[in-house]
Chain A
Amino acid sequence: MRYVVIGAGPAGVTAVETLRVEDPQGEVILIGGEPEPAYSRMAIPYLLSNKIEEQGTYLRHDAAHLEKLGVQQIQNRVTGLDAMAKQLSLEGADSISFDRLLVATGSNPVKPPISGLDQPGVHHCWTLEDARNIIKYAEPRSSVVLMGAGFIGCIIMEALVARGVKLTVVEMGDRMVPRMMDQVSGNLIKQWCIDKGVTVHTSTRVLGVEANSSGTTRFLLNCDPVDPIEADLVVVAAGVKPATGFLQQSGLNLAQGVVVNEFLESSVPGIYAAGDVCEGVDWGTGEQAVHAIQPVAAETGRIAALNMVGKVTAYPGSMAMNVLDTLGLISVSYGQWMGVGGGDETHLLDESAYRYIKLQFEADRLVGAITLGMTEHVGVLRGLIQSRVSLGKWKSILMQDPTRVMEAYLGATHLNS
């Protein structure tokens, strides 16, 4: 049996490890598109802030780990899939056949349709190579513009500020991290950044990046509705989308990502998907969704591998969950934080302390949550949402004081059972 896994991120690496354990005799091949050992994009912000060296981003610290497992590694880009013939075409190399395939190609950064983004000094923050470029251009006292205040934009702000740059953030949405945080918390994060000396323009678009002929900086960014902004480095963090480009002619059912069933199998038997590229079921809403987050990557990588070896294992679906540190302000969001029709909502806000918690209920079950400035027992929000525990009398207690989630969890699960 020959297993081929495309993508050397957390989903792909977890998958090859699981394949090796479950089928010691099988041939396992891992194809990675970047000239690096398997690494974690989640660790890049800490590389930018000099907390770790590049080695600190590696997913497995034993350099020979995959070799010892007998995983054959190929560094190349997959350019196409012939699903019927079970063959992958590679860039400038012979095609490769498989019995079982896992697509774990992750996501690619979105490049907005704006002129001037293809030049040195304008970079995404996605790969190790991007990080090296950012480090090169983010010199002390240089002017840096961050296009996009989403998750990635926010999480690298601390590193950029620590490098001593003059930082300006331009975000199209009306608040920061609009896809993760609500109006109140998104604006509190904005205020926090302004207090830390960052210039923030929300509801603002960058129209183009051009050479700055008159000023002292490398670039000039034309914006709407604010005046042009000078920059030596532009970091484009406008979101990511599943890396499905090479699958367009494959016949696989694609929506946002590779559509999979509960066994993480695509529309073609024997071909599976995991991680950022996979579009499975959001078990909260029951709808198809891509949840491009680390825990889902690791879980789907493992479960897809079990199914690939014939250990039929259902994946119950995923939910959105994120934790973000923006210049030291920690924010978390879970599930249906925007609320559900007919549900109840409660919140507690201490604006001056930058503390906030909001809970969303459907009947007496928690379905979503947002927190700001909370670091103790945060995970129990996941437990409450995912276990669908009936809160009973604890719901009204939480409606009065949403900070008592830990007590509600213990009360609803430990005291009366």
Chain B
Amino acid sequence: MQRSLYISPDKCTGCLQCEMACSYEHEGNFNPAKSRIKVFSFHTEGRFVPYTCTQCAEAWCKSACPTEAITLDVATGAKMVNDGLCVGCKVCTIACPFGTINYNTATGKVTKCDLCGGDPACAKACPTQAITYIDAEGTGYDKMRSWAARTDNQSAAQA
């Protein structure tokens, strides 16, 4: 059974441990600026929204890539960036309507959530279960997915 990240913003306390865990997992240091999951704060409403790639089925980043550097990890469903093939053209960063694949000026490559190979560090670090990693079908498709369907004229056109 494939699993996916399930995010419940109402459970998020804004502690940012997910960002620390993500940056440590991928960069080897605690630098939230390098995290692939970001927590957005809505101070006036007292709310926090963790946000990262939904590994969407349409994979705008993947279809836009001119060098076949983004591929599907069939085990996890993650869309993976192959650093050896990525030339840093950034076309995927403007094609993804969710803004979840970003250019790293230090490496000259793009980065995105890779689900840590099936054991996401953000979900493990989250103390309030605002981020969980559960059966993809069990999520019932969260709000990010429903947003994806709205934006996604490709799947709408196919329906």
Contact = CB atoms under 8 A, between A and B. Distances in A.
A387 B66 contact: no
B74 interface: no
Interface stretch (B16-24, B99-107, B126-134): B99-107
A38 to B, nearest CB: 11
Interface in B61-94: 63-64, 66-68, 85, 87-91, 93-94
Contacts of B97: 379-380, 382-383, 386-387
A376 B89 contact: no
A42 interface: yes
A71 B91 CA distance: 27
Range of interface residues on chain B?
35 or more
B30 interface: no
A101 to B, nearest CB: 22
Contacts of A387: 97, 147, 150-151
A315 B98 CA distance: 20
Contacts of B143: 413-414, 417
A295 interface: yes
Contact of B63 (A298, A306, A417): A298
B67 A43 contact: yes
A409 B87 contact: no
A42 B66 contact: yes
Contact of B88 (A46, A298, A322, A383): A46
Contact of A295 (B9, B64, B151): B64
Interface in A297-352: 298-299, 302-303, 306, 313-316, 321-323, 325, 328, 330, 332, 334
B144 A379 contact: no
Contact of B147 (A60, A299, A414): A414
A56 B67 contact: yes
A93 B114 CA distance: 49
A382 B95 contact: yes
Contacts of B88: 46, 51, 325
A378 B87 contact: no
Contacts of A216: none
Nearest to B87: A46
B147 A325 contact: no
Contacts of B68: 59-61
Contacts of B95: 294-295, 321, 379, 382
B16 to A, nearest CB: 16
B90 A313 contact: no
A270 interface: no
Contacts of A383: 97-99, 151
A325 B93 CA distance: 13
B90 A46 contact: no
Contacts, number: 145
B63 A409 contact: no
Nearest to B94: A323
B2 interface: no
Nearest to A405: B99
Given A378-B93, A415-B49, A56 B87 contact: yes
Contacts of B49: 410, 414-415
Contacts of B38: 377, 406
B157 A59 contact: no
Interface in A277-306: 293-295, 298-299, 302-303, 306
A322 B45 CA distance: 35
A407 B103 contact: no
A308 to B, nearest CB: 15
A294 B67 contact: no
B157 A314 contact: yes
A380 B99 contact: yes
Contacts of B85: 56, 61
A325 B66 contact: no
27 contacts: A40-B66, A42-B66, A43-B66, A51-B87, A58-B67, A293-B91, A294-B91, A295-B60, A295-B95, A298-B63, A313-B157, A315-B157, A323-B90, A378-B94, A379-B94, A379-B95, A380-B99, A382-B94, A382-B95, A382-B97, A387-B147, A387-B150, A410-B40, A410-B42, A410-B49, A414-B9, A417-B143
Given A42-B89, A51-B88, A414-B144, 20 more contacts: A10-B66, A14-B63, A40-B66, A43-B67, A294-B91, A295-B60, A298-B64, A302-B63, A321-B94, A323-B89, A323-B91, A375-B104, A379-B60, A379-B101, A387-B147, A406-B99, A407-B42, A413-B147, A414-B143, A415-B47
> Which 10 pairs between the two chains have the least Cβ-Cβ distance?
A380-B99, A383-B97, A377-B99, A40-B66, A379-B96, A42-B66, A46-B87, A379-B99, A295-B64, A387-B151
